[in-house]
Amino acid sequence: MKDIYLDNASTTRVHPQVAEKMMDVLVNNYGNPSSLHRLGIHGELAIKEVRSLIAQNIKCQAQEIYFTSGGTEGNNMIIQGIVENKKRNKMRIITSAIEHPSVLDVFTFYENHQIEVIVLGVDSQGHIDMDELKNAVNEDTILVSMMGVNNELGTIQNLAAIGKIIKSVNPNCIFHADFVQGFMKIPVDVQACRLDALTISGHKIFGPKGIGAVYIKKGTDIKPLIRGGGQENNMRSGTENVPGIVGFGEAIRLRKDCFNDEYEAVRELRTYFIETITATVDDIKINGDPNGSPYILNISFNRVRGEVLLHSLEAKGIFVSTGSACSSHKKEKQYVLKAIGLAEEYKEGTIRISFSKDITKNDVDTAVAAIAEIVPSLRLLVKPRKK
């Protein structure tokens, strides 16, 4: 039985060419990029090449890219680095209610340390209200952090419009976007969006885990979280993860000429999934924006527990998630569904399907047939809620 992996928003399978490039660095070109000999210089040049490649794809300068261990570190590095650098009597920072925990938890930390935190609500599709944002930004606002593509719903925020509003009210306010679910899937232009900082990650695009990067606009003052050897222009000390960086670079190269075409193909697949599942299974809700990222589909089934459905599908070799993998250990797992106002009877029965280039129409047919077989039997075990 072929496994059908529909959890690509959590992580992706490393592409064989990525693994091959990484193995060469691990075994043959393993020098420390800070070393002065040939192997060290080889590593330094490899890092420089990938830095330029990332910059080309988000429209910035290579020296504005800094490597990290991934999205969580990147978001912490930007938010904490800005707040710690700006510390003054009156400070306001703004985000939305559906951000990744690596953003929301940092905001909560600062809320408990006498910093004014504004968390914007979202509508039923997961969009922020632009008027609410405009009213929230003032002269004390030092940072707005907004997720480009929501990791549970796939909702895409209009970063260009958000950037325009922020800068029109307070040109000195730093605008940061968590773009982990969008990088090399949806085009982004950091200059057109007036972004000062952006977070990206490697393992969502068939690259390795443990590697990511941030864009920090030249001239933006950020206090480094990690001090030591002065690597990454003193922004992130520690020996660079050269195998990870090279693998990240290869993953980008493999996608840069095809991700626009892939986007349309995946959208057709997502649409087909929705049409098939709504024709086959009753009493369900499709959450998020229909025009959001085609890579993510969030579905709620009434009178079904999402975790039970997940494991029932797993028994058939079909892998999905009940939400963000990074929220699975949290007490409040459904804060995104709560924020969009999803009815209580649907929250427990929510799963996230996340697509990739490797998913076929036959895979969709198999997955939908399995859900259609499992859901009625699970509903027999659950008593209807009292109204």
Write the pLDDT tens digit of every residue in 15-26. Answer: 999 999 999 999
Residue 187, domain member (yes or no): no
Decide if 98 is inside a domain: no
| pLDDT tens per residue across span 210-234 | 999 999 999 999 999 999 999 999 9
Mean pLDDT of the chain: 95
Domain holding 346: CATH number? 3.90.1150.10
Task: Give domain status of residue 191, yes or no.
Answer: no
Q: Which two tokens stand for residue 123?
A: 């509508």
Tell me the pairing of strands 197-201 and 212-216.
antiparallel
Residue 342 to residues 17, 48, 107, 295, 299, Cα–Cα distance (Å): 42, 46, 24, 21, 11
List active site positions: 326
Our measurement of the distance from residue 16's CA atom to the centroid of its chain's CA atoms, rounded to an integer in Å, reads 23
Instruction: Tell me whether residue 60 is exposed, middle or buried, using C-beta atoms within 10 angstroms of its C-beta: 0 to 12, 13 to 18, 19 or more.
Output: buried
Evaluate the CA torsion angle 51, 55, 61, 64 in order and state its sign.
negative
Q: Structural domain tally of the chain? A: 1
Q: Which amino acid, one-letter code, is at 15?
A: H
pLDDT for res 333: 65
Give the integer Cα–Cα distance in Å for 36 and 30.
13
Q: Is the pLDDT of residue 114 over 90?
A: no
Task: Report how far Cα 186 is from the mean position of its chain's Cα atoms.
Answer: 12
73-108 tens-digit pLDDT:
999 999 999 999 987 789 999 999 999 999 999 999
Domain membership flag for residue 248: no
Span 244-260, pLDDT tens digits? 999 999 999 999 988 88
Name the strand (E) or helix (H) holding 66: strand 65-68
Q: Band the pLDDT of 2: cuts 50, 70, 90.
A: confident
Mean pLDDT of 169-185: 98
Q: Encode pLDDT of 314-339 as tens digits.
A: 999 999 999 655 556 555 668 999 99
Say if 272 falls within a structural domain. Answer: yes
Residue 65 has pLDDT above 90, yes or no: yes
Residue 268 within a domain: yes
% of residues, the chain, pLDDT over 90? 91
Instruction: Provide the token pair at 18.
Output: 């990525």
**How confident is the model at residue 44, as a pLDDT?**
96
pLDDT: which is higher, 296 or 2:
296
Range of the domain at 266: 4-11+258-381
pTM: 0.94
Query: What's the CA gap between 194 and 217, in Å, rounded?
Result: 10
Model pLDDT, residue 24 = 97
Please indicate whether residue 6 or residue 257 has the higher confidence score (pLDDT): 6
Residue 194: inside a domain = no
Mean pLDDT over 373-385 rounds to 85
The larger pLDDT score, comparing residue 260 to residue 63, is at: 63
Question: Is 31 part of a structural domain of the chain?
Answer: no
- Average pLDDT in the 274-299 region? 97
Report, in angstroms and rounded to the nearest whole number, the Rg of the chain calculated over CA atoms.
Answer: 22
pLDDT at 27: 97
